[in-house]
C-alpha cells in the first residue's frame, strides 16, 4: 500500500497528464471493479491467480464444460449481480462529464461504468447480464436463465463457494447431474454475451474503438495488466500514432515498454486526488 504522499504525488502527476492530453482514450480492466467485490484474474506480476477462464471452443463443443460453467455461475454470478459502483467508476464518470474522456473502452463485462454515469463506453468484451442463442439469436436476461436453472437444479442452487472473476465460483464437485437450460425457441446453446478466451472482439466494436483512438490526444490504462491482446492492441496502436500512453495499476503491464507515464498505486485514491486537483484548477481559472 502506498503512503499518503506517494498517492498525492501520483494524483498530481495524473492531473497534469489529463490537462496536457484532455481528450483521453481510457482502457479499464478488472482492477477498477475489485472494490465492488468482483475478483480479478491476475496478480501484480500479471500472472494468473487461478486457472484460466473457459475457452470459447470448449464451451461450444462440450456439454460437460457447459454443465460445469452454469453450475458454478449459479453461485458466482451473485457477485456481479449485487456489485455496486465503486470509487474508480465514479471518478472516471466525473472526468467524462468534465469533458476529459473521448472514449472509455472497458475489458470488464459488469456494466458498472454505465451505472456510474459514463456514457462514452465501449464494452470491448461484451456484457455478462444478457445471454443469446448461438443458433437462432434468441436473447434473454441473465437473471432469467439463472432462475430457470436454479429451479431445475435445486441441489446446486443451494451450494456455496468463493466467488471468482466474471461471475464464476471456485466450486469443484460432480457436475454430471446438472441440467442445462437451452434455448426455449430452438433448443440451441445459450451463451452469455461475452467474448470468451479464444473468441474475437466483433469487428464493429473494434473499429468504433479505433476511430475513437484516432480522435484522442492520449491514452490512460486504469486497473489493467493489458495481458489480453484485445486491450493491449490499442496501446500499441497509440504508440505507433505518437500518442502518450499512461498506466495506473497496482502491478506490471504488457505495455510497460510503451508507457510514457506509469503509476503503480491504488486506483481510487489517486483518481480522486487527480479529480480534486483538476476541479481546483478549474475553479481558480473561472472568472
Are the CB atoms for 173 and 68 separated by under 8 Å?
Answer: no
Count other Cβ atoms within 10 Å, centred on residue 231. 25
Q: CA–CA separation, 96 vs 43, rounded Å? A: 29
Residues in the chain: 287
Q: What is the secondary structure of 179-244 as a DSSP string?
A: PPP--TTT---EEEEE--BTS---HHHHHHHHHHHHH-SEEEEES----SHHHHHHHHHHHHTT--
Place of cell 479499464: 28
What does the alpha-carbon distance between residue 241 and residue 232 come to, in Å, rounded to a whole number?
14
- Is 235 labelled a binding residue? no
Residues 6 or more apart whose CB falls under 8 angstroms from that of 232 comprise 226, 254, 255
SS3 label, residue 131: strand
Q: Do 146 and 73 touch, CB atoms closer than 8 A?
A: yes
Which residues are part of the catalytic machinery? 125
Residue ranges of the binding site for Zn(2+): 133, 136, 183, 186
Residue ranges of the binding site: 133, 136, 183, 186
Amino acid at each position: 500500500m502506498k503512503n499518503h504522499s506517494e498517492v498525492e504525488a501520483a494524483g498530481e502527476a495524473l492531473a497534469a497528464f489529463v490537462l496536457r492530453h484532455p481528450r483521453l482514450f481510457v482502457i479499464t480492466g478488472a482492477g477498477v471493479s475489485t472494490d465492488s467485490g468482483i475478483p480479478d484474474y491476475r496478480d501484480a506480476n500479471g500472472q494468473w491467480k487461478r486457472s484460466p477462464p473457459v475457452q470459447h471452443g470448449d464451451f461450444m463443443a462440450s456439454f460437460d464444460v457447459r454443465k460445469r460453467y452454469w453450475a458454478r455461475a449459479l453461485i458466482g454470478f451473485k457477485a456481479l449481480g449485487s456489485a455496486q459502483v465503486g470509487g474508480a467508476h465514479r471518478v472516471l464518470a466525473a472526468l467524462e462529464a468534465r469533458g476529459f474522456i473521448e472514449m472509455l473502452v472497458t475489458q470488464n463485462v459488469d456494466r458498472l461504468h454505465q451505472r456510474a454515469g459514463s456514457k462514452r463506453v465501449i464494452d470491448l468484451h461484451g456484457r455478462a447480464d444478457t445471454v443469446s442463442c448461438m443458433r437462432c439469436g434468441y436473447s434473454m436476461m441473465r437473471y432469467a436463465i439463472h432462475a430457470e436453472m436454479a429451479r431445475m437444479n435445486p441441489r446446486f442452487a443451494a451450494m456455496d463457494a468463493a466467488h471468482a472473476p466474471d461471475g464464476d465460483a471456485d466450486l469443484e464437485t460432480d457436475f454430471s447431474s446438472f441440467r442445462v437450460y437451452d434455448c426455449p425457441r430452438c433448443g440451441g446453446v445459450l451463451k452469455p454475451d461475452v467474448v470468451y478466451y479464444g473468441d474475437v472482439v466483433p469487428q464493429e466494436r473494434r473499429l468504433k474503438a479505433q476511430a475513437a483512438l484516432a480522435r484522442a490526444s492520449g491514452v490512460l490504462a486504469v486497473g489493467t495488466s493489458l495481458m489480453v491482446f484485445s486491450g493491449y492492441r490499442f496501446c500499441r496502436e497509440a504508440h505507433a500514432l505518437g500518442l502518450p500512453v499512461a498506466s495506473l495499476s497496482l502491478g506490471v503491464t504488457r505495455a510497460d515498454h510503451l508507457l510514457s507515464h506509469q503509476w503503480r498505486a491504488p486506483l481510487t485514491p489517486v483518481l480522486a486526488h487527480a479529480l480534486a486537483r483538476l476541479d481546483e484548477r478549474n475553479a481558480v481559472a473561472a472568472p
